[in-house]
A and B are shown apart, each in its own frame.
Chain A
Amino acid sequence: MVIYRDEYRLYNFGPGHPFSPVRLEMLTSLLQALGVWKEPLAPREATREEVLSVHSERLVRRVEAASRGERVPDLEHYGLGTGDTPVFPGMDRAARILVGGTLEGARRILAGEKRVLQLGGGLHHAQYDRSSGFCVYNDLSVAIRHLTRAGLRVAYLDIDVHHGDGVQWIHYEEEEVLTLSLHESGRYLFPGTGHVHEIGRGEGVGRKLNLPLEPFTEDESYLEAFEALVPWALGAFRPDVLVVQAGADAHFLDPLADLLLTTRAYARIFPLILDYAEAYAGGRVLFTLGGGYSLDATVRVWALLYHVFHGLPLPERLPEGWLREWEGRLGQPLTPTLHDPHAPYPEIPRRQEIEKRNRLTLERLMELLRSHLVH
């Protein structure tokens, strides 16, 4: 089941902002042009109370006031009105619409649906008391809380290139939520967190996993770590449902980060996630989108996700008419095939060192978690 409504595009920080609603417009028009678009389920927007299941009243009040155009003097303390997360009219409702979509996904899972793809959301940086990094409200955590309140154990998997800090901190002390984030190391990259030693607190100890990868990590090294870590953690935790943040900004074309995945890695990752859901979570999986700031790459990665999700064969070339229209609108050439060309970037001289360091990080993480996760 796919969840989407056009009003997702109201979540718009303005022209020139990387978190652009154009991505959704391009994606849905591409899926239509490919002839695979099926009418999605349109969710209702989340209520204020639903947002308050993971956020503070004082944050929500400020978002509401700022959305109405009121001047809020301490807005920056709440992570709003910044360069990354500026205020726009109607921001509260726009954010609640995205939350509503992911929450609807959680409801559908509880109602017996196995696979849900929410074509939006993934706002993993928003924290209890603070908006952050393009993320006003945390749709993922609202959905996760809905699932845990219904008694389910949730495994959250985050493949966005940035650490899923908001989701991690909100559930940091919860035993019934496993968070697992693979990301570019926070040594340099926003938000600066996601070290291997962040493993949870209190009841949550050993339930929060972070694999910080070296800048310029490529497909092979990423997949090696992914295939070693994810089934190991899921097998030990035995969740009832998998919630996946499928950010596409680990792609090598992404302008904000430095991992070097190609579409071929994603063509492996997405089916693996479905397999893992079958093996460890009764087949239940809820996907959301997330980061992804190269229009060219992001749209192809998510189109790939849509195909894998539906078990459709992958197209090779993208439709000519669609390409012509969007190349015209964007004023830039687009990759004409779903997959990246072979060897799309120059050889990375430090490859071996990077692979070695990633292996070491993985070993450290598994060593640190072994006694907690496997009894």
Chain B
Amino acid sequence: MLIQDVMRFPVVTVEPGVTLEEAYRLLLERGIRHLPVMEEGRLVGIITDRDIRLATSHLNPRGPCPGCTRVAEVMTQEVVTAHPLDPVEEAARVMRERKIGSLPVLEDGALVGIVTGIDLLDALLKLTGVTEPSGRLEVRLPDRVGELARLTGFLAGRGINIHSLLSYPEDKEVVRAVVRVNTLETHLLAEGLRQEGFEVLWPPKKPW
């Protein structure tokens, strides 16, 4: 899944000379939290609702002046951006590491979209397959070649369509695989998997 699959466009932007009051009104009207700042078609900064609230707070020593402070005085410069062909996980990592809530998306210097934490949550929902009617299997696998193939091969043999398959390391030797499958019969699958030697964490085996 790439940034271009989840980004929003067209992007609502402001110019550096706009007052904080005007920028804030724009955020409220559009129901958004991030405004890339554009000057002559070039991205020169970004301002968020939080920047505006901090800048205009009574606690701010410079005092609140939403009508006389300009975006250029408050905006963050040297904006961290993404490219439409970046993978979504790359965007998630950058946002997490830099502790930022959005990435303007640039292509050949032009602003073509924006991706926010919300868009990444949507991407996550889609990646986990929960938007399709499905049941969930959780399996512990040795972290070595061919184990996932063995698992998916088993499901294919039972005619089961996989909506999503996520795996993550539990420790150095073990991987957890979370599979969303198009079936009511996850218990029967779990039984079959156990008989094949898989360690199934969910659904559990009933002791009766």
By a beta-carbon cutoff of 8 Å, the part of chain A in contact with chain B is 18, 76, 79, 82-84, 125, 132-134, 162, 165, 187-193, 215, 252-253, 255-258, 291, 344-346
Contacts and interface: CB of A to CB of B under 8 A. Distances in A.
Given A83-B159, A83-B182, A134-B184, A189 B207 contact: no
Contacts of A134: 184
A79 B180 CA distance: 15
5 contacts: A191-B134, A192-B130, A192-B134, A192-B136, A256-B185
Nearest to B163: A192
A190 B208 contact: no
A132 B187 contact: no
A57 B204 CA distance: 40
Contact of A18 (B132, B160, B185, B203): B185
B188 A255 contact: yes
Contact of A257 (B133, B134, B138, B187): B187
Nearest to B178: A188
A188 B136 contact: yes
B135 A82 contact: no
Interface residue range, chain B: 20 to 34
Contacts, number: 77
A192 B187 contact: no
Nearest to A249: B184
B162 to A, nearest CB: 11
B184 A133 contact: yes
A255 to B, nearest CB: 6
Given A18-B184, A192-B180, A346-B207, 6 more contacts: A82-B159, A133-B184, A188-B186, A190-B133, A192-B133, A256-B185
A258 B135 CA distance: 13
Nearest to A162: B184
A189 B135 contact: yes
B144 interface: no
Contact of A82 (B161, B188, B202): B161
Contacts of B134: 190-192
Given A190-B133, A346-B207, A84 B184 contact: yes
A83 B185 contact: yes
A233 to B, nearest CB: 25
Interface of B: 130, 132-136, 138, 158-161, 180, 182-188, 202-204, 206-208
A76 B182 CA distance: 11
Contacts of B187: 255-257
Nearest to B131: A192
Most B CB contacts (10 A, CB to CB) among A192, A215, A345 go to: A192
Contacts of B161: 76, 82-83
B133 A256 contact: no
Contact of A190 (B135, B138, B206, B207): B135
A192 B208 CA distance: 25
Contacts of A82: 159, 161, 182-183
Contacts of A193: 133
A191 B185 CA distance: 11
Given A84-B184, A256-B188, A187 B160 contact: no
Contacts of A258: 203-204, 206
Contacts of A187: 136
Contact of B208 (A76, A165, A189, A345): A345
Contact of A188 (B158, B202, B207): B202
Most A CB contacts (10 A, CB to CB) among B135, B186, B188 go to: B135
Contacts of A132: 133
Nearest 8 A-B pairs (CB), nearest first? A191-B133, A190-B135, A83-B159, A188-B136, A190-B184, A345-B208, A132-B133, A84-B183
Given A132-B133, A133-B133, A346-B208, A190 B186 contact: yes
A132 B186 CA distance: 15
B185 A165 contact: no
Nearest to A260: B206
Contacts of A18: 184-185, 188
B202 A190 contact: no
B165 to A, nearest CB: 15
A257 B185 CA distance: 9
B208 A344 contact: yes
Contacts of A192: 130, 132-136, 180
